[in-house]
Structure 1
Amino acid sequence: MTVLHSTFTLERTYPVPPGQVFAAWADPATKARWFGAGEGHELDFRVGGRELTRGRTPDGKPLAAASTYHDIVRDERIVYTTTLTGGDVLATVSTTTVELVPDGEGTRLVLTEQDTFLDGAEEPAWREQGTGDWLAKLGKELAGGLSGPSGSAEG
């Protein structure tokens, strides 16, 4: 039985204003396109609201990420906690802070995640890589690449 703690910060700059980046987190259909891969995605984006993403581990066991939103400041900040389970085994517990900072005509997103990894079920490097991957998908969404041309994203 082991416990490993890790913290990482990722920064990305998107060529759209903070309100547009915030909307991509807040709208269930939009967030499902860039974040909700797997077998299902549910989002109740409000303080006290929950998000659930389901999928499968590489060996076919059910995988679930369940988040609760604790702080939401429109166009500025999102704070949530997440548990990740594989099968019936709790793998990680994390706290994530997303900051949206105006950067010229765009937005600098600063994501800081503090993780508790339990019993070797997940590795810090895997989590950081996965988070970076979905931030890249967010960038494609904001550029209109995941949903097709929408006219709402510049890039």
Structure 2
Amino acid sequence: MTKRSVHPATIVLERAYEASPERVFAAWSTPEALLRWGSPGDDWEMSYERFEFREGGGDLCRFGPKGGEVYVNETRYFDIVPNERIVSAGSMSSAGKRLFAGMLTVEFHPSGSGCRMVMTEQGVFLDGYDRPENHEAGWNHMLDQLGDELKRGRAAA
């Protein structure tokens, strides 16, 4: 029998972007924008089977390195305040194993002419299949790519 375990962790990342909260929020609200910046690794592939960005809606995303393991992320949106916050919960699995379950909160705060974004992921890493360090590295990569998208003026769909 497989030994079961849970490893709870909280990851908090902040970014200051030279873009309005409206533009940063917009980058989280469409699959077209998320596909441009939301991949956790270079040369990874990503696709959405479903995307319903509304309270009570959800999405189903598949992603992973080209030719490698495929991860499935399921998300449900619980609270969306345009240009201020997004609260969602989700889980990630691969090869039929649940790796992670958690809650994600993204806050958008005006800061001068830009936006200070605070992203908090509170989750449990299940049965040793994933680690907080992996999520933190992936989120850092994605948020850096978001900054590049905003600089190019492409973050909104």
TM-score range, shorter chain: 0.7 to 0.9
Question: Does the 8 Å CA contact 2:35/2:46 hold for their aligned counterparts?
Answer: no
Q: Does 1:6 align with 2:9?
A: yes
**Residue 114 of structure 1 pairs with residue 122 of structure 2:** yes
Q: Distance in 1 between matches of 2:126 and 2:10?
A: 15
How does the TM-score come out when normalised to structure 2?
A: 0.86
Structure 1 contact 38–53 (Cα < 8 Å) conserved: no
Matches within 5 A, 1:80-119: 80-119=88-127
Tell me which amino acid in the other structure corresponds to 1:40: S
Partner of 2:45: 38
> Aligned in 2, Cα 1:117/1:59: closer, same or farther, shift over 3 Å?
farther
Contact 2:99/2:130 (<8 A) preserved: yes
In structure 2, C-alpha distance between the alignment counterparts of 1:57 and 1:137, rounded to whole Å:
17
Q: Give per-residue Cα distances to partners, 1:69-125, cap 9 Å, x unaligned.
A: 110000000001110001100000010100000000000000011010101110111
CA distance in 2, matches of 1:27, 1:111: 18
**2:62 corresponds to 1:54:** yes
Kindly indicate whether the alpha-carbon contact (under 8 Å) linking 1:66 and 1:82 is maintained by their aligned counterparts in 2: yes
Do the aligned residues in 2 keep the contact of 1:57 with 1:86 (CA within 8 Å)? no
User: CA deviation digits over 1:21-71, x for unaligned, max 9?
Assistant: 111111221122111552412421111111222134798443101111110
Structural RMSD (CA): 2.1
Structure 2 alignment gaps of length 5 or more: none
Where in structure 1 do 4 or more consecutive aligned residues deviate above 2 Å? 55-62
Number of residue pairs the alignment of both structures matches: 148
TM-score by length of 1: 0.87
Partner of 2:85: 77
Q: Is contact 1:57-1:63 (8 Å) kept?
A: no
Say if 1:21 and 1:107, in contact at 8 Å, map to a contact too: yes
Q: Secondary structure of the residue that 1:143 maps to in structure 2?
A: helix
Match of 2:28 among 25, 32, 38: 25
What is the aligned counterpart of 1:16 among 16, 19, 39? 19
Distance in 2 of aligned mates of 1:134 and 1:64: 17
Alignment of 1:129 with 2:129, yes or no, is no
